Amino acid sequence: MSTFSLCVYCGARPGSNPSYMAAATELGQAIAQANMRLVYGAGDVGIMGAVARAAQTGGAETFGVIPTHLMDMEVGKTDLSTFVVTETMHERKKVMFMNADAVVVLPGGAGSLDEFFEALTWRQLRLHEKPIFLLNVDGYWDPLRAVLDHVVREGFADPSLLSFVQTVADVPDLMAKLQ
């Protein structure tokens, strides 16, 4: 049984840059090699599926959480170590977050941003102290970092907000910071 659980928020699509899928596969492999448990959205499509398949192939424990209404759209990956079906997206996010020791966000869309901002808001409100990482594949998250800087600069958040998010360039950098 793994002792450290990494929650991965990421796209249910592959994205337009092949580097996104490559980073997802590399992350899944690294999770397995580090004997960590993958906690993620239980889909078998896009970047989400790539992370899970690579983690499984490497022998990692996998913990997936999916709401009933996404079972078909995200192709619920029922062969995981643990497969949880929730009624709502809110429950999904809560179960994923509560079963993780840290969060990493790979490239993704509105859902990934929603998950990221909820984890960041909870951290800002001192509801947790879990590390939050942006895996900045080919600069994908540079615009988000600029928005966070803008929010602080314009006085809508304390500068400490920026310290709650660590941006990492690649999977080796992430794994080094998690050790």
pLDDT digit string, tens, across residues 144-166: 999 999 999 999 999 999 999 99
Residue 3 pLDDT level (bands cut at 50, 70, 90): confident
Determine phi and psi for 72, rounding to 5 degrees.
-80, -50
- pTM metric for this prediction: 0.95
CA nearest neighbour of 37 among 83, 82, 2? 2
Q: pLDDT tens, 40-98?
A: 999 999 999 999 999 999 999 999 999 999 988 888 899 999 999 999 999 999 999 99
Contact 51, 40 (CB under 8 A): yes
Q: pLDDT tens, 16-25?
A: 999 999 999 9
Q: Is residue 46 within a helix (H) or strand (E), and if so which, with residue range?
A: helix 46-57
Under CATH, to which class is 5-178 assigned? alpha beta
Find the helix packing angle between 46-57 and 18-33, rounded to 10°: 30
